[in-house]
């Protein structure tokens, strides 16, 4: 019998989940407030509704054999009312934990992961005191609803504290600034019963708080560091009984690494897996949801993934039309292109960082 996966959210991640599900013979139904959401073009059914519409969410669950979510800001409290009655196989715990930076960081520390110092900030006096303890620069972030650099402010000195006060209208967290060498991410799928698989560790390069490049394998990362990072990621999932897919971003400093944040869904830094690995993050998530055995991924060749924002859409379209060997252009079909809006990605298989910079970097808008 054909199973149906319900996907809360129909953006580009929902699009690629639906595509992977179709290749496995499963149906999909997506819920999203945007009538022209990318995944609606490939899923079997869709519901146009707000993410906090309980009746619509229940309808999605009722029409699905198993339900997943494609981004962190799905209202966890609403899903709590559905989790006991429907098959949300990943559970809602990783979703709820990832929605609050203080809760997320506390979970990481309790699980034995190294974190930069952080503190709950509710008022100006606490901000001044903790900034003095952590030293400058430090970073003030909203505890909830922050992504791609939104909801945060770098505090360079005492002179910036007054300007930071406006952020305190919502609960915030202050973080010590880590002078990291680079950022890397580990993407894992599984649970305690099925076991866990882990995708090759990539190095992430951001611009303006938005992922620009993922380079796999991560340059300059030795095998021991890679092994420890993967082992700690699995231990984090086991200790918290997180199920399904989990992406964890780390700051790397020498031979050590610091937990930055987590995402209980497919991750931008894992787009490269579609062509760069023997299996990809979307396929393995779907296999997990469909109670199929998981497959340990292997990297086919050095790979670079370039995130395409609105300002680079025309360049990506030209590259797609050229049909270059081992260059895979994914455009998400969004109806409106804007600078800094994610419009697609390009995966270059068989290319390392030097090759990308030499051959492709100048094709795109220079990032600051």
For 46-98, the pLDDT digits (tens) are: 999 999 999 999 999 999 999 999 987 788 888 888 999 999 999 999 999 99
Kindly tell me if the per-residue pLDDT of 147 is higher than 70. no
Residue-range domain boundaries for the chain: 4-88, 117-176, 182-363
Kindly tell me if the per-residue pLDDT of 347 is higher than 60. yes
For residue 108, give both structure tokens: 């990481």
Topology of domain 4-88, CATH: Rossmann fold (3.40.50)
Q: Which residue has the higher pLDDT, 335 or 328?
A: 328
Cα dihedral 340, 342, 347, 353 sign: positive
8 A C-beta contact, residue 300 and residue 349:
yes
pLDDT tens track for 58-67: 999 999 999 9
Rounded-to-integer distance, Cα 325 and Cα 361, Å: 17
* % of the chain exceeding 90 in pLDDT: 89
Report pLDDT for 368: 57
Report pLDDT for 74: 82
- Candidates 3.30.1490.20, 3.30.465.10, 3.40.50.300, 1.20.1050.10; CATH matching 117-176: 3.30.1490.20
Provide the CB-side half-sphere exposure for 259 (13 A, CA): 26
- Asked if domains 117-176 and 182-363 share a fold, the reply is no
Rounded-to-integer distance, Cα 173 and Cα 261, Å: 13
Confidence band for 208, pLDDT divided at 50, 70 and 90: confident
Rounded-to-integer distance, Cα 13 and Cα 220, Å: 29
Report pLDDT for 237: 97
Report pLDDT for 110: 96
Kindly tell me if the per-residue pLDDT of 366 is higher than 90. no
> What residues contact 44, with CB distance under 8 A and at least 6 apart?
4, 27, 28, 29
3-state secondary structure of 248: strand
Confidence band for 225, pLDDT divided at 50, 70 and 90: very high
Mean pLDDT of 101-114: 96
Question: What is the four-CA torsion angle of 234, 80, 281, 218, rounded to 10 degrees?
Answer: -50
What integer best gives the mean pLDDT of the chain? 94
Report pLDDT for 146: 60
The order of strands in the sheet holding 118-121 is 118-121, 172-176, 138-142, 152-155
Confidence band for 367, pLDDT divided at 50, 70 and 90: low
Which region among 169-173, 198-202, 231-235, 363-367 has the lowest average model confidence (pLDDT)?
363-367
Report pLDDT for 144: 87
Confidence (pTM): 0.94
Rounded-to-integer distance, Cα 305 and Cα 105, Å: 28
CATH number of 182-363: 3.30.470.20
Confidence band for 150, pLDDT divided at 50, 70 and 90: low
Rounded-to-integer distance, Cα 200 and Cα 324, Å: 25
């Amino acid at each position: 019998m054909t199973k149906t996966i319900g996907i809360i959210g129909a953006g580009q991640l929902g699009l690629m989940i639906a595509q992977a599900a179709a290749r496995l013979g499963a149906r999909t139904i997506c819920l999203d407030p945007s009538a022209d959401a990318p995944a609606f073009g490939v899923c079997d059914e869709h519901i146009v509704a707000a993410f906090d519409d309980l009746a619509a969410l229940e309808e999605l669950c009722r029409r699905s054999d198993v339900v997943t979510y494609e981004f962190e800001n799905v209202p966890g409290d609403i899903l709590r009312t559905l989790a006991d009655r429907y098959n949300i196989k990943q559970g809602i715990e990783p979703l709820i934990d990832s929605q609050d930076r203080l809760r997320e960081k506390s979970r990481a520390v309790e699980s034995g992961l190294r974190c930069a110092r952080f503190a709950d900030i509710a008022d100006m006096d606490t901000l001044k005191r903790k900034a003095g303890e952590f030293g400058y620069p430090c970073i003030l972030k909203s505890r909830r609803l922050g992504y791609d650099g939104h909801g945060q402010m770098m505090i360079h000195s005492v002179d910036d504290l007054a300007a930071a006060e406006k952020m305190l209208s919502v609960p915030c967290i202050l973080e010590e600034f880590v002078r990291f060498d680079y950022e890397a991410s580990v993407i894992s799928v599984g649970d305690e019963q099925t076991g866990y698989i882990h995708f090759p560790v990539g190095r992430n390069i951001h611009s303006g708080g938005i992922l620009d490049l993922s380079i796999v394998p991560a340059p300059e990362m030795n095998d021991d560091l890679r092994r420890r990072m993967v082992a700690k990621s699995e231990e984090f999932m086991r200790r918290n009984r997180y199920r399904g897919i989990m992406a964890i971003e780390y700051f790397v400093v020498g031979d050590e690494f610091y937990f930055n944040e987590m995402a209980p869904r497919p991750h931008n830094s894992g787009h490269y897996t579609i062509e760069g690995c023997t299996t990809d993050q979307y396929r393995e998530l779907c296999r997990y949801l469909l109670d199929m055995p998981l497959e340990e991924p292997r990297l086919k060749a050095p790979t670079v993934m370039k995130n395409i924002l609105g300002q680079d859409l025309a360049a990506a379209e030209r590259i797609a039309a050229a049909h270059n060997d081992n260059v895979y252009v994914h455009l998400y079909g969004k109806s409106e292109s804007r600078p800094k809006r994610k419009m697609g990605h390009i995966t270059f298989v068989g290319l390392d960082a030097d090759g990308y910079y030499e051959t492709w970097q100048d094709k795109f808008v220079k990032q600051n």
